[in-house]
Structure 1
Amino acid sequence: MATTGLLKRLGRMLTEDLDVAEDVRVERECREPGTQRAKDCDRGDEATMTGELRSVQTGCKGKTGVLAEFFDGTDTVLLKWIGRNRIPGVEPGRRITVHGRVATADGMKLIYNPSYELHSSTE
């Protein structure tokens, strides 16, 4: 029994360390001059941020729109393009620079219809 608990704790420690390392990697690679960190942006701020898209959902539950989870290594921001069913190039894992006014919904930071610049896949 003690071995099982030890293995679970060891597995959790290794996974948490990998998550932290990934967050640090994303933050380091996504820092660009003239951009803000997501954790420093508050509701009402106009912000420009560079990060990665972790997930992208299109046309959920019969509604039009594209919803993407943006992460810059410091915090997550939801990006919502209203009235679009699909945006070419907006896909998980893609690096992107977004600009817009930060709102909040259900405790999450959110930017509606952000302007964006897709970075090449080789960066």
Structure 2
Amino acid sequence: MASEPDDTRAAAKGAAESRPNGLRRMLRRFTASEAEIEAEELQRDVARHGCQPAREAERGQLVSVTGRLRTVVYTPRTTVPTLEADLYDGSDVVTLVWLGRRQIAGIEPGRALTARGRVALRDDRKVIYNPYYELEAAP
């Protein structure tokens, strides 16, 4: 009988280890910050869309990235106006730059989109100039 509690503990431990990942994910949601949860969801979207994670994008590479726009800023310049938007995919940020544009319908903070273009570096930041893009349905 003295060994019964040890057997019970071992059985409980074995059952806990064999539980599906769903319980582990649920427990993670309780302990993770909102930013961590958002990053995980965005990274799942990257895989679902068949895109490349932004952290893996390198200068000169033609990429497809997907994520959510964090900021959208119109930057008046002396030579050509630009519209710049930071796209976050849960791993890194890629700045999308449209030259000669003051605004684009649907390009607004919080909007999900997929962009395609060649990666450049500007001030050690990843940039795609005049990307092809597809807006996701508004939430």
The alignment's TM-score, normalised by the length of structure 2, stands at 0.70
Q: Residue 102 of structure 1 aligns with which residue? A: 119
- Which residues of structure 2 form unaligned runs of 5+? 1-31
User: Greater Rg, structure 1 or structure 2?
Assistant: 2
Which aligned runs of 4 or more in structure 1 are off by greater than 6 angstroms? none
Alignment of 1:23-62 (within 5 A): 23-60=39-76
Measure the CA separation in 2 of the matches of 1:65 and 1:43.
21
Report % sequence identity.
38
Alignment of 1:11-90 (within 5 A): 17-60=33-76, 64-90=81-107
Highest RCO, 1 vs 2 (Cα 8 Å, sep ≥ 6): 1
Deviations 1:38-86 (A, max 9, x none): 1111000000111110010014466511000000111100010000111
- Which residues of structure 1 form unaligned runs of 5+? 1-15
Give the count of matched residue pairs.
Answer: 107
Conserved? CA contact 2:75–2:82, under 8 Å: yes
RMSD: 1.8
Measure the CA separation in 1 of the matches of 2:94 and 2:88.
6
The alignment's TM-score, normalised by the length of structure 1, stands at 0.78
